[in-house]
Amino acid sequence: MIAGQDDTENKPLHIAVIMDGNGRWAKKRGLPRTAGHQAGFRVARAIVEAVGKRGHDALTLFAFSSENWNRPNAEVSLLLDLFMRALQSEVDRLVKNNVHMSFIGERSAFPEKLREQMRIAEQKTERNDGLKLAIAVNYGGRWDIVNAARSIARRVQKGEITADQIDIGSFAEGLSLADRGEPDVLIRTGGEQRISNYLLWQLAYTEFFFSQVLWPDFDELELDRAIESFNNRQRRFGRTGEQVTGLDDA
Angle between helices 220-231 and 33-53 (to 10 degrees): 50
Query: In the beta sheet, which residues pair with residue 250?
Result: none
- Which residues are CB-contacts of 95 (< 8 A; sequence separation ≥ 6)? 124, 125, 128
The rounded distance, in Å, linking the Cα atoms of 119 and 88 is: 12
Catalytic position from the list 57, 68, 197, 217: 68
Q: Is 221 exposed, middle or buried (0-12, 13-18, 19+ CB in 10 A)?
A: exposed
Query: In the beta sheet, which residues pair with residue 103?
Result: 135
Residue 232 annotated as catalytic: no
Catalytic position from the list 7, 10, 20, 249: 20
Phi/psi of residue 110, each to 5°? -85, 155
Residue 98 annotated as catalytic: no
Three-state SS at 81: helix
- Nearest CA to 107 out of 146, 135, 131 is that of 135
Residues forming the active site: 20, 68
